């Protein structure tokens, strides 16, 4: 009887620890977004994304980050050198559903605001960005469009929020 209780206690502790690790990672991302973002672009959440090809994913990170890893069929638009012209030429329908993303969702909010200024009306910001996408088992692709486990982690500081995959700096 004592062995069964010890076994159940061990299982409970392991379940709590694994949930705590996941939960604390999510809490850290949410806290970072709460402190850095203004909430001007509504969030899309990885677990609630519809499976459709009608959404345009725009990667708002630097080109080096995009080459290491990006979401399938994402369009790179940059951040420091945001390519407004490329967006206007690629997405001509201003009511096209767009999801912007970056590492966790800070830079993508800025680009989402620029898209609003350009007249786009259906913009969402991927909560947790590519980090949360990978943390929840999503596939990422390199510059040759081959699935990879590597994810550009931006910096050692922000890379702490990436719990899955191989961190590349």
DSSP state, residue 55: P
What is the rounded distance in angstroms from the CA atom of residue 77 to the CA atom of residue 83? 5
Q: Is 20 within a domain? A: no
d(CA 88, CA 116) in angstroms, rounded, equals 12
Residues forming a β-bridge with 101: 59
pLDDT of residue 26: 58
Query: Does residue 163 sit within a domain?
Result: yes
* 105, part of any domain: yes
Residue 23 maps to a domain: no
Instruction: Confirm whether 22 is domain-assigned.
Output: no
Which residues constitute the domain of residue 119? 29-167
pLDDT, tens digit, 9 for 90 and up, residues 138-169: 999 999 999 999 999 999 999 999 999 999 99
In a domain, 107, yes or no: yes
pLDDT tens for the chain, residues 1 to 169: 444 444 444 444 433 333 333 444 558 999 999 989 999 999 999 999 987 889 999 999 999 999 999 999 999 999 999 999 999 999 999 999 999 999 999 999 999 999 999 999 999 999 999 999 999 999 999 999 999 999 999 999 999 999 999 999 9
Q: How many domains does the chain have?
A: 1
pTM above 0.85, yes or no: no
Closest by CA to 100, choosing from 147, 149, 43, 48, is: 43
Tell me if 55 is assigned to some domain.
yes
Q: What is the CATH number of the domain that holds 125?
A: 3.40.250.10
């Amino acid at each position: 009887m004592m062995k069964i209780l010890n076994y159940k206690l061990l299982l409970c502790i392991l379940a709590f620890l694994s949930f705590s690790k996941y939960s604390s990672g999510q809490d850290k991302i949410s806290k970072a977004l709460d402190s850095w973002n203004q909430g001007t672009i509504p969030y899309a959440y990885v677990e609630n994304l519809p499976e459709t090809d009608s959404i345009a994913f725009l990667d708002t990170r630097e080109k080096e980050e995009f080459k290491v890893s990006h979401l399938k069929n994402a369009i790179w638009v940059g951040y420091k050198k945001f390519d407004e012209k490329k967006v206007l030429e690629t997405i001509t329908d201003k009511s096209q559903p767009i999801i912007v993303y970056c590492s966790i969702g800070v830079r993508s909010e800025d680009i989402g605001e620029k898209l609003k200024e350009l007249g786009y009306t259906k913009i969402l910001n991927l909560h947790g960005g590519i980090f949360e996408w990978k943390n929840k088992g999503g596939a990422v692709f390199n510059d040759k469009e081959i699935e990879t486990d590597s994810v550009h982690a931006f910096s050692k500081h922000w890379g702490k929020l990436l719990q899955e995959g191989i961190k590349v700096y």
